[in-house]
Amino acid sequence: MTRPATTTSAGRTPLVELDDVSKYYGNIRALEGVSLEVHAGEITCVLGDNGAGKSTLIKIVAGLHRHDTGTFRIEGEDVRPASPREALDRGIATVYQDLAVVPLMPVWRNFFLGSEPRKGSGPFKRLDVDLMRRTTRAELLRMGIDLRDVDQPIGTLSGGERQCVAIARAVHFGAKVLVLDEPTAALGVKQSGVVLKYVAAARDAGLGVVLITHNPHHAYLVGNRFVLLKRGTTVGDHTRDDITLEDLTRQMAGGDELDDLRHELETGPGPGPL
């Protein structure tokens, strides 16, 4: 079973820190007063149902959207990334649920997509295919991913395997923070376990990981910190030491609201008007 690291963040500057961050789209509140810390060698899980604000949070951290109020810090420096490229240059790599891959291209080509090394000069300059093949195979093995053939089209891999390739790619290109958008949402139990194993491998490689999920069981398997969002606000912020899986699941399911609903269903609506 994959288990969380035992590292402690006491006294260390977070790789990424959001402090009382809010985001509005006109009169619509997407996030309000949300805080978050991401430390090296730890996994911070952000949980919430649809509409909780998880997507907006990702977009702010990834540099797609700028926050309206509050503070966003990367390694202690106040920042307002203007683009995903700027966030990536600062070490934040985001892997979305709908992976941006070219299904008919081989695994090695997708691994280097947009960052292809070349050899030669002038009119003889060309892609260094041998280097890309060797590097892809070596980096996947370093993460514990043993593909039969890096020349196979990436579209022939399972959803879990494609997620793992994306994680290995982020590690190879020097990410310090890895943001994963619902990586297990469309996967079965076995494939989800494979992905969580490589999420833990990224953490063990020293990265700070943000795992966005609606599944408290997956979160609790690997998480060090848990931030629960509901309708754009924080309704829970815990370390692994101060919450059990049962309590995390209960808070995720609605907590007191769920108890009220259970009581109402058990007692019934009562007699109607005569």
pLDDT tens track for 160-202:
888 889 899 988 998 999 999 998 888 888 888 989 999 999 9
pLDDT (0 to 100) of residue 5: 47
Q: Please give the tally of structural domains in the chain.
A: 1
The answer to the question of residue 83 being in a domain is yes
Mean pLDDT of the chain: 87
Residue 111 lies in a domain: no
User: pLDDT band at 261, cuts 50/70/90?
Assistant: low
CATH number at residue 213: 3.40.50.300
pLDDT at 230 over 70: yes
In a domain? residue 142: no
For residue 167, being part of any structural domain is answered with no
Task: Flag whether 135 is in a domain.
Answer: no
Note whether residue 190 is domain-resident: yes
What pLDDT is stored for residue 106 in this prediction? 95
According to DSSP, the β-strands at 126-127 and 177-181 are unpaired
Its domain, for residue 204, covers 16-104+175-266
Long-range CB contacts (< 8 A, 24+ apart) of 183-187? Answer: 183/95, 183/97, 183/211, 183/213, 184/213, 184/215, 184/218, 185/97, 185/213, 185/214, 185/215, 186/97, 186/159, 187/159, 187/160, 187/163
pTM: 0.84
In a domain, 11, yes or no: no
In a domain, 203, yes or no: yes
pLDDT in tens, 63-120: 999 999 999 999 999 999 989 989 999 999 999 877 778 899 999 999 998 888 998 8
